[in-house]
Amino acid sequence: MESQKLKRPQHKGSPRLFKNPVLERLTHTHISAPLIIFFSIAAVLIYYGIFEKGFAVLEMVLLFLAGLFFFTLVEYLMHRYLYHIPATTERRKKISYTMHGVPHDYPKDKSRLAMPPVLSLFIASVLFIIYRSLLGDLVFGFLAGFLVGYAAYLSIHYSVHAFKVPNNSLKILWHHHAIHHYRESDRAFGVSSPLWDHIFETMPRKTPVERQKGSLN
Ligand SMILES: [Zn+2]
Ligand SMILES: [Zn+2]
C-alpha cells in the first residue's frame, strides 16, 4: 500500500472493470487465495493418485514434474499469444485488456495480480476434465504438477511486482519481467523462467543492463 504512493502516478489506483459491484469485487483478490486453492487441490490429487489409484510414489513424482514442466510451456504460450492477442476487434480488445492490459497498465495494483477463487476453481475443474480425457488416471500426478506450476507462476509474478529486486540469482526474473512491462512488450514473455524465451528466440534485445554486464549469452 505505502509503496504504491511512491510510484509513478500512472501506476496509481486501479481501473474499474465491471459495472456490477459483485463482479468488480471479484476482480480484486488477495494473492493467497489462488495459492491455497491450487496447493490444496494438488495435495488431494496426489493423495488420491497414490492411495486410491495405486500409483507408486516415484511415478507420481515423475508425473508431477512432467505437469510442472508442461505448465511453463503453457505459461509462455498463453502470455505470448492470448494475453497479447492483437486487438483487431472490440471483443478482442476487451479480452486482452481484461486478462492482461490491466496488469500492464497498473502493474502495482497488487489485488489485481491475484486470481479470484471462483476463477481458480473453474480453471482447475476444466483442466481436470481435459487432462482426464487425454491422460486417464495419469491426470492425478500431472495436474498436481501443473497446478503447483500455476501457483508458482502467480507467486513469482506477484513478488516481481510487489517486492524490491532481491540481491540474489532471482533478480534475473525481476529484470526479465521489467523489460517486458516497461521496455519491450513483444519480448521476455516467460515469468517463472526465461527458458522458453531462449527456445522461441524472444529474449530481450540488447539493453543497457545487458550491455553493462557484457553479453549474457
Ligand atoms: Zn505481457
Ligand atoms: Zn507483470
Model pLDDT for residues 124-173, shown as the tens digit of each residue: 999 999 999 999 999 999 999 999 999 999 889 888 888 899 999 899 99
Cβ contacts of 64 within 8 Å, gap of 6 or more: 46, 141, 142, 144, 145, 148
- Gap between the Cα atoms of 39 and 59, Å rounded: 19
As a whole number, mean pLDDT of residues 34-49 equals 96
Ligand nearest to the CA of 79: 1
Whole-number pLDDT of residue 171: 93
For residue 126, report the phi and psi dihedrals to the nearest 5 degrees. -60, -45
CA of 62 to the centre of ligand 2 (A): 30
CA of 48 to the centre of ligand 2 (A): 34
Ligand nearest to the CA of 156: 2
CA dihedral 156, 50, 140, 42 (to 10 degrees): -30
Q: In 3D, which of 150, 165, 114, 116 has the Cα closest to residue 41?
A: 150
Whole-number pLDDT of residue 151: 93
Ligand nearest to the CA of 81: 1
Enter the pTM of the model.
0.78
Q: In 3D, which of 40, 44, 66, 43 has the Cα closest to residue 138?
A: 66
CA of 173 to the centre of ligand 2 (A): 11
151: its cell numbers: 501457483
pLDDT digits (tens, 9 = 90+) for 190-205: 999 999 999 999 999 8
Length of the chain equals 217
Q: Above 90 in pLDDT, residue 24?
A: no
Ligand nearest to the CA of 184: 1
DSSP state of 31: T
* Rounded alpha-carbon distances, angstroms, from residue 87 to 96, 99, 112, 147: 7, 12, 21, 29
What integer best gives the mean pLDDT of the chain?
82
CA of 190 to the centre of ligand 2 (A): 10
CA of 140 to the centre of ligand 1 (A): 30
CA 161-18-160 angle, 5° bins? 5
CA of 15 to the centre of ligand 1 (A): 18
